[in-house]
Amino acid sequence: MNKDLMMAFYWARIIKLAFSPLSDHDKDTWLRCYAFSLLKFWGIQNLPSKLKVGQTIKFENKFLNITYDCIIENYQKGSFSISIDSATNNTLLWYHDIDPHYYHPSLVQILPAKLDKRWDQSKVLQEELGNILDGLIFHPHAHQHIDMHIPDSSSADSNHTTNHDVRIGGGITNPFLFLFQLRYQFCIIKQNREEEQKRLLNLFSTELNMKSPNISAGKLFGISR
Amino acid sequence: MLRNKDGINFDEGIPLINSSEFENLYVQSHQEEFSDFLTWIKNQITPLLIGGQIGSGKSTFINKAFNDLQVYPDFVFHFDQDVDNIFDDNPLLVILKEIVSKAISAKIDLSFSNAPSELTKGTIGTWEELINLISAKDYSLDAYYRKKEVAIEFQTHHDFILPILKEIMDLYENKINRKSILFASGIDKYLSTNLGTFFLHNISDFLSTFKTLFEVNAVHIFDNKWALKSCQKIFLTTLNKEQIHDLFKKRMGVYISSITNVVDGLTSLSGGNPRQALRLLTNYVNSKTFGKTDSMLLFETVRKTSQDYFSFATRPSADLMKHIYKEKSLSATTFSLAFDKDTAQRALYENWIFVNGRLKGDQWAVQINPLISYLFLDSYEIKDYETQLLSLYANNQQISDYGLTIVDNSDLDTSKEVKTNSLVQMKELLGNAVLDNYVFNSAELLEMISTALLSKDRPDRIIISYRDKDIINPLRYYIFAKANTYDYQSFVHVELTRNNISPLGQILDTINKNHVNIFSFDFKDEFDDKSIEAIDKIRDILLSYQIIWWIPFESLKKYLPRWSQLRQLFQIFVLEDELLASIDINEVENDLKYYSQFKSKSNARISEVMSNLEKILLWMKKSKENINE
């Protein structure tokens, strides 16, 4: 087994651990924790007020004039519409649909169930986990930039998040993962982004090494109450 | 207080306290005054008055200096938080408690006086027993009467007690080998006329013999009748435009770009008062929904903020306001005229006007609070920011503001008529915000109320005023169900009634006895003026709680003019009778169905949501049946 295969294995494993809530209750808890975590992570004081559990979920960041509506049916199917408010009217940016009826290669089906024991898995994990999380969340391989109410890279100093730092991942087939990377990408507080990267790196490193069967929503979103 | 580093921090009314808050949120202002204050803390021994209008940043200014020097007062007297002062108008007990407690902690020998025993005929043996009795949090009726009896005895014999307290202070200062610093806080919550003769003379006289810092309102700075009239004074006037910009920048953090278009508008409307600036900002953001233009939002912001601060308040005389508009100044003596308590002094105390700085001699630069100046001006006199508001109005009405531009008296063409009509309309619209007709649309209002209570990290305080009392229970169920959307929040609901205990007593008793996230009080009965005025003094006690007050509309009209302090802390919502019609019965049923899937999980949050949803559903079904019958 080569290193790329091992990385793909962990990629799929992370999606299964953190972004695949099975029961309706788990799905509700995941979304509730998601919404709740935005308050601190985005550094805002108004929680998304239009969360209607079990129906369409709307997340709004008034300070970026961004809103996204999601319908998540299960961890394989969902649809998102992302809009930006241009002050006088709503402008729909795009829809992101995940439709399982159409073919997409599934890593879970392709990859072996277990890793080759001859590999020093923990060593590879430590070296490559950052790259895996970059690809999944922080800096998706294929992404779009959008123009928001923040400085562009030419006018901002190095302490600010710029429009170029916001990368909306493309081709993501798991709706929970898509939602999760939107949460990260729409956070424009640089310090919170950096801390979140460290926190998730530690979290996944620990949980993968412990071979945990899943990661609770509370842990995933760093909500300790 | 949960702070968002580099993010949004709107928590108005809460003074900054620690180094991290100062580093991120403090706005440099009043530098000369600040330097004087530092010098006073370090080197001086005479009393000092620090004064400013409501929301001028007095507490933050004081906290910053102590924090910078890492020197703190030895004695702090909270005249606005100690129930002995609030309930029984007994400031002597406040200072006695603080001085004797600190002396006991410092192991000062108090055996030179047997005052506790002498004044209670042996019922209380020692100073320690006295402190235990008057500081105990025992809310039984028996304890209340015992404490009251002792308090009256001490106050009656204040001539006997004050020299003893002076002696204790001398012993304390000998022990620490320096002058101690005393801090008399909360006097700013009282108009001079309400402070009481005993405080104005005996207590002020006593405290002024020490190095005491008095935190007072602007009206006390100008008061030439009380014991402290000759003390050194520091007056915090309004902030300038750059400082208000800086405040917005710090409070908006990385999101400052999102208000670029309205920063100047909000700044000029703030009049340089930092808390008013923050309330405007908060209301602007709360009103912000997709699809509304900046000018529409700004117009809504003015209406909501005017309502929060000035609805039902007694207006100062139009003559005074016109004089200020014309002269832009007032003489200091105007604020202390004996017959003037309802005009200049009240205008200053209630922020109808702002003092911008000292001119010459006793002349002060004064402006009408820009938020409400339209109430006092004729159309011909409106300039400056009124021009801006007019333009907002025009945009709000989706008409061009061409022709609405302010013209002077020499302009006699037809645009004048258009302008005048529009001005009248604008003044009516905005005027309604301070009268009684201002309401949001139902769905918007429900959402704003619910949003305010969604997080226990954010202590919002709201007053919900209603005309139809039947609306309260179902609405409460709905709001509490919403408040549990994300996180379990416990609550207590209490109906305040006319009985042996004042409404203030009932509120404090509830807060002390219950450890819950949301306190809900229904001012069911109508209370007399004195009981209502007493509640105004506890603003700072309520700072850290999530609170809803339900007040009948007719009572609110009487209460608000007496709550100059409290209304700085509360957002006010006036309910339409038809409000509940905006709740969709199908939506409630769907939510209930959804939550019922998880019932077996026996989760406190879900049980709370379901219980409230079931109650509102039952109420809605019954109402429907009644209509059908």
List, as one string, the DSSP characters of B372-440: TGGGT--GGG--HHHHHHHHHHHHHTTS--TTTS---TT--STHHHHHHHHHHHHHHHHHHHTTT----
Sheet strands side by side (includes A57-61):
A57-61, A66-74, A77-85, A90-98
Which of B27 and A108 is assigned the larger pLDDT?
B27
Q: What is the pLDDT of residue B205?
A: 86
Q: If you measure CA to CA, which chain A residue comes closest to B450?
A: A49
pLDDT at B584 over 60: yes
User: CB of B219 within 8 A of CB of B248?
Assistant: no
pLDDT at B43 over 90: yes
Q: How far is CA A203 from CA A10, A177, A192, in A?
A: 14, 16, 16
Please give the mean pLDDT across all residues of chain B.
Answer: 81
Which of B323 and B11 is assigned the larger pLDDT?
B323
> What Rg do the C-alpha atoms of chain A give, in angstroms?
18
Which of the residue ranges A81-95, A138-152, B50-64, B423-437 would you say has the lowest mean pLDDT?
B423-437
Q: What is the pLDDT of residue B3?
A: 81
Rounded (5°) CA angle B57-B61-B64: 135
Q: What is the pLDDT of residue B405?
A: 36
Cβ neighbours of B46 (radius 10 Å): 14
In terms of Cα–Cα distance, which of B284, B277, B285, B281 is closest to B244?
B277
Give the closest-approach CA distance of B486 to chain A in angstroms.
6
Count of alpha carbons within 13 Å of B488, Cβ hemisphere only? 10
Query: Best of A45, A86, A194, A195 to disrupt the B interface by mutation (most B CBs within 10 Å)?
Result: A45
Q: Tens of pLDDT along A51-80?
A: 555 556 778 788 888 888 888 877 777 777
> Under an 8 A CB cutoff, do A53 and B285 touch?
no
Residue A127 confidence class, pLDDT cut points 50, 70, 90: confident
What mean pLDDT comes out for the span B357-370?
Answer: 91
The minimal CB distance from A64 to the residues B10, B258, B487 is found for B258
Mind spelling out the 3-state secondary structure of B228-257?
CCCCEEEEECCCCHHHHHHHHHHHHHHHHH
Which of B92 and B593 is assigned the larger pLDDT?
B92
pLDDT at B440 over 70: no
pLDDT at B539 over 90: no
Give the closest-approach CA distance of B451 to chain A in angstroms.
6
Residue B392 confidence class, pLDDT cut points 50, 70, 90: low
Q: What is the pLDDT of residue A219?
A: 93
Q: What is the pLDDT of residue B443?
A: 62
Q: Which chain A residues contact residue B6 at CB under 8 A? A: 43, 189-192
pLDDT at A158 over 90: no
The minimal CB distance from A189 to the residues B254, B587, B601 is found for B254
Which of the residue ranges B36-45, B151-160, B236-245, B566-575 would you say has the lowest mean pLDDT?
B566-575
What is the bridge-based pairing of β-strands B546-552 and B518-522?
parallel
In terms of Cα–Cα distance, which of B587, B607, B589, B586 is closest to B598?
B607
Q: If you measure CA to CA, which chain A residue comes closest to B587?
A: A52
pLDDT at A20 over 60: yes
Q: Which chain B residues contact residue A67 at CB under 8 A? A: 290
In terms of Cα–Cα distance, which of B85, B26, B88, B92 is closest to B59?
B26
Sequence-distant (6+) residues with CB within 8 A of B55 are: B273, B274, B275, B276, B351, B568
> Under an 8 A CB cutoff, do A150 and B257 touch?
yes
Give the closest-approach CA distance of B448 to chain A in angstroms.
9
Give the tokens for residue B144.
């209340």
Which of B114 and B193 is assigned the larger pLDDT?
B114
pLDDT at B379 over 50: no
Which of the residue ranges A12-16, B60-64, B317-321 would you say has the lowest mean pLDDT?
B317-321
Give the tokens for residue B63.
């906290």
What mean pLDDT comes out for the span B1-14?
Answer: 81
Q: What is the pLDDT of residue B312?
A: 79
Residues B229 and A211: their CA atoms lie apart, in Å, by 74
Sequence-distant (6+) residues with CB within 8 A of B245 are: B263, B267
Q: What is the pLDDT of residue B162?
A: 93
Q: Which chain A residues contact residue B455 at CB under 8 A? A: 39, 45, 47
Question: Facing residues of B550 across strands?
Answer: B464, B522
> Under an 8 A CB cutoff, do A32 and B485 touch?
yes
The minimal CB distance from B290 to the residues A49, A85, A191 is found for A85
Which of B419 and B376 is assigned the larger pLDDT?
B376
Q: What is the pLDDT of residue B320?
A: 85
pLDDT at B482 over 80: no
Residues B571 and B560: their CA atoms lie apart, in Å, by 12
> Under an 8 A CB cutoff, do B486 and A35 touch?
yes
pLDDT at B618 over 80: yes
In terms of Cα–Cα distance, which of A50, A94, A117, A171 is closest to B446?
A50
What mean pLDDT comes out for the span A121-125?
Answer: 69
Give the tokens for residue B519.
């306190």
The minimal CB distance from B7 to the residues A43, A83, A90 is found for A43
| Secondary structure of residue A67 in the 3-state scheme | strand
